[in-house]
Every structure is written in C-alpha cells, then in structure tokens.
Structure 1
Amino acid sequence: MLSLLRLYNTTPQLSYILNPHKLQIMAKSRFEYVKKFEQDDRCLLGCWIVVRIDGRSFHKFTSEHLFAKPNDLSALKLMDVAACSVMEEFRDIIFAYGQSDEYSFIFDRKMSLFNRRSSKILTNLVSLFTSSYTYNWRIHFPNTELKYPPAFDGRVVLYPNTIVLKDYLSWRQADCHINNLYNTAFWEIVKSGKSHVEAAARLKDTFSSGKNEILFSEFGINYNKIEPRYRKGSCLFWIDKMTEKSPEGPDTVGEFITGGACKKPRVCREITVSHEDIISEVFWSNHPQILGQDIVNS
C-alpha cells in the first residue's frame, strides 16, 4: 500500500487517472495573482479587424538576396503564397491585399476567433506568415540560398464601418501605385547609366504625369500597360465553385438499387488571386459577397 501511494504521488499521469480533480487543485498556487497584470485586449465588437504585416528591414533583405528591380515576380508570388497559407488556416479572413513586402488581412466583422484578443490574432498571423514565407522559399527561389531568416512585424487596427475600411484599402493600393511608378522610373534611369543619386535628383519634385512622361518619352514604356500585379497589387478572396464529384461507392438507397453512384454537385470554397482596381466601386459591386450585401455601405 505504501509503495502504491508513493507511485500515486510521483506519477502525474497515474494520479490524474485516479483523481482527475487533483490536477486542477494542484494548478492553483499563491503565484496566480500575476495573471491580474494581463491586459484585456479584446477587439471592439462590430468593428472590422485588420492585420497588416510588413517585412522588417527588407531593403537589406532584398539586396542580400539579389531581388530584381523594380519588381521581383518570384518574391511577389511568394508573398501571395504565404498570405494564402494564412487564409487557409484562418477561415474568418474574408479578404487580403498585398503589395511589395506587406499584406493586409481583413476579418469577418462577426469573428470570434481567440475571443477577439488582438495579441493572439496578431502573433498567430505574423508567425504563420513568416514560417510559410520561409518554408516556400526554395520553391520560388530554387537557385538562391536563404542567407538568414526573414522577419515580419505587424499591427492590428479596427475600422468602425465599411466606408472607412474601403478607404483603408484604397490608401494601400494608392501607395502601391505611387511607389511602383517612382521605382519603375528610378530603375530605368539607373539602368541607362545614371547613379542612384542622379536618378533621385531627376525625379525630385515630379508629379505622376512627369514620371509617366519620362518613362514614355525616354524609355518607350507605357506605364498603364505594365503588369497589373505591379501597379495594383494582389487581392485574395474566397469564391464558391460548384463541382461534380462521384463517390467511390453508392451512398444512397437509389444509388444502391441502380448499381451506380450519381454525380452530386458540391460547393467548393477556394481562394482566388486577382490584380484589380479596388479603389473603384466596380470591384465591390462585382464581388458583393466579400463584405456582405447587407453591410456594403455601413
């Protein structure tokens, strides 16, 4: 009996089996008061939750890994893949927008994931995005060794209504256009033999029209015909597709009698990637399911 008691007290698994309430009792201690210092960081109900992830020190990272200028297609596709991984894992994300080294994820307004705790939402998204980016590196850069781990930071922002949310997304796409126009003109000037300082001086105080004129008159480039991915960024959202699937065997009485399996239409939910103008209302009118028909303008 004495040896059994010793085994009971020294073996947590056995003691829990014999007395499942003991583990809960043992977990309580005088140190538990420290939990009171934790902040309540639950996001306000009814608001749109947006998580924006940005590459940390990516100027150095892109230089070290010899990214093509002004845009590296493989790098942008890798960002899209990492974003898709996040959306596949967290199905409450209804839309994502990415450009350059950043991605914004919009959650369903009614989302209850992690009890809407911003710290849990942020850390889970940033860690998964970073690990997916690293994991898929070799697929997109088979001839370039990853010299050191990439890092991303992030932030959580709440937007009170759909109008403000759309303005946020318009701001990010406008930023994509402004940066890409400048970078395209800058690197064309550099490739023509000018230094970085000379290229920057040439573009200083120029408006969009001036940069467009330089590209067209000096380099024969019509900016509006450049790949939409570079000018508009990437939009990720869910679409429902009807598919026909034949089960391996009969799963209804009718199929059993006829000796065959009927093709049944199934709804398949998948992520689509597009490069469209989201500043215009045309996009949202064409895809009302993203934000919800009943709250498009609320």
Structure 2
Amino acid sequence: MSTTELNHRVYLFTKFEISFNEKYQKYIFKGRWTDQVDKDFLNNEIQELKKLFHIQLKIGLNNHIVIADLLELTGKRIDWLKDNEAYNISFIDKIKLQSKSLDYPPENKISPEDIIKLRDNEDYNYDNDFINSLILNSYKLDDYRDKLNFEKAQLKYCVDLYRVALSEINDYIMRWQMDLPTINIDKVEFTDLIEDKEQSLKCSTNWNKIKLARLFQFLKEENIIFFEPTNTERNGVLFNKFIENNFTYLNTKFGRQHTIENINKEFSEINSPINKEKQFDFYNELIELITKKRDQIKL
C-alpha cells in the first residue's frame, strides 16, 4: 500500500457527499439512501481506514509527516462541520446539493406516521438511536406534516453518525501522533493485520474442482459435516460459501492451484441425471482409497 492510497481513502471519507433525488424526493448520503446508512456502515469505513493506517505505520516512511497530513484532512472537515453548526437541524438547508440517482429505489423502511405513533406510545422503550433521532426532530419539524421534513430528519441522523465517526478517526490518529515518538513500532502487533493474514490462508487440494465438489456433496448429503441440519436450503448456501472461502483446487490445465468461484455450478452438474455414471465412478474411486487405507492397518 502506498501513502497516496491511504491519503486518498481518508480524503474520500472526509468528502461531504450529499445529493437529492427528485424522483423519489429523498436524500443520498455517501452513495446510499439515507435510510440505509447506519452505525455499521460507518464503523466498517473506520475499521478499513485504521487497517490502512496500521500498514502505513508498519511499512511506510515518514510516518510523522503522513500523520500530520491526515490530521489536516480530518481536522478541516471537523472545523467545517462545527463552523456550519452541523449539530442543528437547520444545517440541512445550508447544504449545497447535487442531483443524483441510484440503481435501485429506496426501501422507505419507516414512515412519518410510524414515528408519530411510536412517539405517542407510552410503552416504547427508546432502544433504537435512529428512531429516537426521528422522534426528537419530529417536534422541531411540525410532526413531519411536510414529507420533505421527514427526509431531512433522516439525513440529519446520517450527519450525526458521520460527525462521530470523523471525530473517532481523527482522535485515533492524534493519539498515534503523541505516542509514536516513544513506541517501537516494530514490536506492535495490530490485530486486524494478523487476522488478514489468517483469513488469506486457504486449504489446497490435489483434486480438480468437480471432484472436490463430489466429495463435499457426499459429506453434505450424509450429514458428516453441516451448518444448518434442519434447514436444507440455508445449509447449502453456507456450505458453498465455506468451500469458496477456504479451499483451492488443482487446475490440471495450468498445473496450479486456483481459487474456487461459483461451486454451485459443479453441484448442479453432479445432480444432473446424465452424470450418474461419473458419480458412480467417483464413489468407486473413493472406496478404493478407503479400502487401501484400511488394508494398511495391521490389527
């Protein structure tokens, strides 16, 4: 990874991207409809930035200069949000909007009427930050009688999440700026980098893709290994994902290991009636291997 990549990713994160879609009368925040932006979305971005930052600390040069540049990027955006009073709902009206569309329509998971009902329900326990924010702003925006005000309230929630996320990454980099002079970075082990190495490991095989699929088909059908034994469809989906994520196969044409993609294609081929003979041959081969291994055991 180059320093340029890290700087570019932080720049993109600090870029304030808000658009308005005329067709659906809805805001778009960082390439998503506002009702699709949540803490997980921004937390994932933060973790990815931290990972790139950790790589920079480990193998990059001039860390003190890089850190200063990153703090300038994040600090400018934080100051801009503060100067424009982004903590107020009136901030939404100050934003310069672009016209943009997405390839899919918004889901509109909740309506203004839903929010007012929840607000007036004495049994509502206020355990959802998104709903709580919409309830709070309903008082300021005339109970969302104007539907556009409801969209503004959803955008305001996105802005609030973004402000918190931006401050988090800024504070994290700032702590490293203070600690770096007294730390031997070579002795620091970053958990996310260790996990990346572990996740990149795959189990290789000496069988081709279709043969490997036949083996897993046998193991799955006999419930020797499983994920969801009571849900056949979900068990199959998880099985496919497990194989694709953890195994490689021998591509006999090129004589090297290949990653497994779309293993479901091989499973469909196996289950085809015209391939019964090939399946029969595979089981014969498997029996021969097991028999040979059995005969090697001296009782």
Scaled to the shorter chain, the TM-score interval is under 0.3
Q: State the TM-score, normalizing by the size of structure 2.
A: 0.22
Larger fraction in strand:
1
Larger fraction in helix:
2
